[in-house]
């Protein structure tokens, strides 16, 4: 998983959507991606938590968004 890489990028991003707003958008625009997003988010969240990283939710959100935006993952 790319958690360490994402940690670096997250510092440069000023506005990251919240989990809730992302879920609302997915349910409205791409309901077929919801399950994949939730699975990727949970996996990334758990990994970042185990590593005691800061901003766990935002790191997991970035990873999950990356996973669902990659056509070969969906």
What is the per-residue pLDDT for 73?
A: 60
CB 7 within 8 A of CB 53: yes
Domain total for the chain?
1
What is the per-residue pLDDT for 8?
A: 47
Residue 18: inside a domain: no
Residue 66: inside a domain: yes
Mean pLDDT by 10 residues, the chain (74 residues): 49 65 92 95 95 91 91 64
Which of 7, 44, 46, 17 shows the shortest CA–CA distance to 26? 17
What is the per-residue pLDDT for 35?
A: 96
Q: pTM score, two decimals?
A: 0.75
What is the per-residue pLDDT for 70?
A: 83
Residue 53: inside a domain: yes
Residues 6+ apart with CB under 8 A from 49: 56
What is the per-residue pLDDT for 74?
A: 53
């Amino acid at each position: 998983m790319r958690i360490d890489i994402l940690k670096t990028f997250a510092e440069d991003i000023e506005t990251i959507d919240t989990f809730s707003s992302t879920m609302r958008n997915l349910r409205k625009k791409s309901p077929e991606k919801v399950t994949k997003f939730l699975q990727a988010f949970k996996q990334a969240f758990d990994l970042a938590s185990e590593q005691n990283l800061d901003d766990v939710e935002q790191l997991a959100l970035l990873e999950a968004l990356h996973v669902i935006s990659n056509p070969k993952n969906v």
